[in-house]
């Protein structure tokens, strides 16, 4: 990664992490205005090919960057992210413009006067809002296309999907359109696209990042950072994890910074490696090999590795009950004409969700509670669980499931992600290689509830060891369309 002191061209600014940008602001190597202009130019360059943005906020971004530059000149930075460009998934409220959530059914007139809690915290810490990123309609599936904004494509191969539902955010970070993005994750929606696009993504413990308004998908829904690396994610989590009174389920503020102890490594940690969840999942050979390589690196760094599977069967039926019911609730206020405009797949699952009884929903909650109990016991033995993030790499853009896969819904190809939304555990994806087509592969690190710092620490160890450096943002990601 280029260091600030080595910069010879302002286009290099789009390659830097948030921490590197802050260092550059402090030592005067460049200003937030320089960085914002470079990022906006990058947005303009890549948007026609990947379609990662629904709105670019040029004037606001430059105005906030000018204000930030003035504070840095005075030696009075505002908070932890002053002048750092960020993008926000178009699911989360951001005052001053519509949050359309990938749907033609939402009236853009507003008023739009509130920030979501995580957006408010970024604003308070001086972040520069550059653009809103694409999402499937209401974030319902694991790829990013919608009736409103069309198809979002993969930065490594534009014929492939970026993943979803935070696919625009993942593509933005991978392509240098800001080092930080806010995503949401109800069944893998941070980790799926982060894995497909070769960046870092964290789904924190439920309640760690407050959410408002409450998601119709209930306590499956998390807000998390999507970044170049684990160190930036720790910094971002320090900001967005502050409590917010609008979310009654938020956790108490963390007792210390997530950057404290980030470099303590993995020596002595007990790590379970589950390559196929006990034979339940077919994993692409290239994925299996790359993930095994990451596990070997953790062993070299001093972790105790044991191949062990968590004690649960695939909870997909219970997840569908919870997820489809939530989707039905999302569209319940819509009229007939609005429903006719919905993504056909979304319309289909809402009809299924509306047929579940309260008893069936509560039975799914029972499955979830038992799954959480089993994972709690599992983590009495193991500090972390390691799996592939995805069993496959990015497939054709514009479809919900890979052609010929036999899957009916997106959950068929995401078996490693949604179980940990049901258990509310922290889970991160770290890039660990590429397949034969040059498409990124991710390794998933799962911790016990409230062990977000440990997940970040293990992920940071992989970055520091070089095991994650092969697929990290624009170094050495190819340009869009290549």
The rounded Cα 357 to chain-centroid distance in angstroms is 32
Is the Cα dihedral 354, 359, 362, 368 positive or negative?
Answer: negative
Name the 3-class secondary structure at 307. Answer: strand
Give strand ranges (E) for 339-472.
384-388, 427-434, 440-447
Helix segments in 143-284, DSSP class H = 167-174, 191-197, 230-240
- Give Cβ neighbours of residue 56 (< 8 Å, ≥ 6 apart): 40, 43, 44, 47, 130, 131
Contact 226, 180 (CB under 8 A): yes
Catalytic-residue membership of 5: no
Catalytic-residue membership of 89: yes
Distance CA 395, CA 143 (A): 10
Is the Cα dihedral 185, 190, 191, 193 positive or negative?
Answer: positive
Distance CA 416, CA 434 (A): 19
DSSP 477: P
Tokens describing residue 341: 């405009």
DSSP 450: T
Q: Read out DSSP for 121-151?
A: HHHHTT-EEEEEEP-SGGG-SSS-EETTTEE
Catalytic-residue membership of 189: yes
The angle, 0 to 180 degrees and rounded to 10, between the axes of the packed helices 316-331 and 344-355 is 100
Distance CA 297, CA 150 (A): 40
Distance CA 170, CA 353 (A): 29
Nearest to 166 by CA among 239, 227, 231, 80: 227
Query: How many helices, marked H, and strands, marked E, lie in the chain?
Result: 14, 15
Options 165, 169, 241, 325, the catalytic residue: 165
Q: How many Cβ atoms sit within 10 Å of the Cβ of residue 41?
A: 16
Options 149, 166, 181, 189, the catalytic residue: 189
Which residues are known catalytic residues? 89, 165, 189
């Amino acid at each position: 990664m280029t260091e600030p002191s080595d910069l010879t061209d302002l286009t290099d600014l789009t390659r830097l992490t948030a921490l590197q940008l802050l260092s550059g602001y402090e030592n005067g190597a460049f200003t937030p205005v320089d960085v914002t202009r470079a990022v906006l130019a990058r947005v303009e360059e890549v948007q026609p090919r990947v379609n990662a943005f629904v709105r670019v906020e040029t004037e606001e971004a430059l105005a906030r960057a000018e204000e930030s530059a003035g504070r840095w000149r005075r030696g009075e930075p505002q908070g932890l992210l002053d002048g750092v460009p960020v993008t926000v998934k178009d699911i989360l409220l951001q005052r001053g413009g519509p949050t359309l959530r990938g749907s033609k059914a939402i009236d853009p007139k507003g008023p739009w006067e509130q920030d979501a809690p995580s957006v408010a915290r970024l604003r308070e810490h001086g972040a520069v809002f550059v653009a809103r990123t694409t999402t499937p309609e209401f974030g319902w599936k694991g790829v990013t296309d919608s009736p409103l904004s069309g198809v979002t494509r993969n930065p490594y191969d534009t014929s492939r999907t970026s993943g979803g539902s935070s696919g625009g955010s993942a593509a933005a970070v991978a392509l240098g359109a800001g080092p930080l993005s806010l995503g949401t994750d109800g069944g893998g929606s941070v980790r799926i696209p982060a894995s497909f696009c070769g960046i870092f993504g964290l789904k924190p413990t439920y309640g760690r990042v407050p959410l408002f308004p409450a998601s119709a998908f209930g306590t499956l829904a998390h807000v998390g950072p999507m970044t170049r690396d684990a160190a930036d994610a720790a910094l971002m989590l320090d900001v967005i994890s502050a409590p917010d009174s609008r979310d009654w389920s938020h956790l108490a503020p963390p007792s210390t910074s997530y950057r404290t102890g980030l470099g303590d490594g993995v020596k002595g940690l007990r790590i379970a490696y589950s390559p196929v969840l006990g034979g339940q999942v077919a994993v692409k050979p290239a994925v299996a090999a790359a993930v095994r390589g990451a596990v070997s690196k953790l062993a070299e760094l001093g972790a105790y590795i044991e191949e062990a599977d968590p004690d649960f069967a695939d909870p997909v039926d219970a997840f569908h009950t919870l997820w489809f019911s939530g989707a039905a609730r999302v569209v319940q206020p819509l009229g007939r004409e609005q429903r006719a405009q919905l993504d056909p797949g979304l319309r289909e699952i809402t009809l299924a969700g509306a047929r579940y009884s309260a008893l069936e929903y509560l039975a799914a909650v029972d499955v979830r509670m038992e799954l959480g109990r089993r994972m709690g016991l599992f983590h009495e033995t193991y500090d972390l669980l390691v799996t592939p993030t995805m069993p496959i790499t990015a497939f054709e853009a514009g479809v919900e499931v890979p052609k010929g896969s036999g899957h009916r819904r997106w959950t068929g190809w995401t078996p490693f992600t949604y179980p940990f939304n049901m258990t509310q555990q922290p889970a991160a994806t770290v890039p660990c290689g590429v397949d034969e087509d040059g498409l990124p592969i991710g390794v998933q690190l799962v911790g016990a509830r409230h062990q977000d710092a440990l997940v970040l620490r293990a992920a940071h160890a992989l970055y520091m060891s070089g095991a994650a450096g092969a697929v990290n943002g624009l170094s050495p990601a190819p340009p869009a369309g290549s």
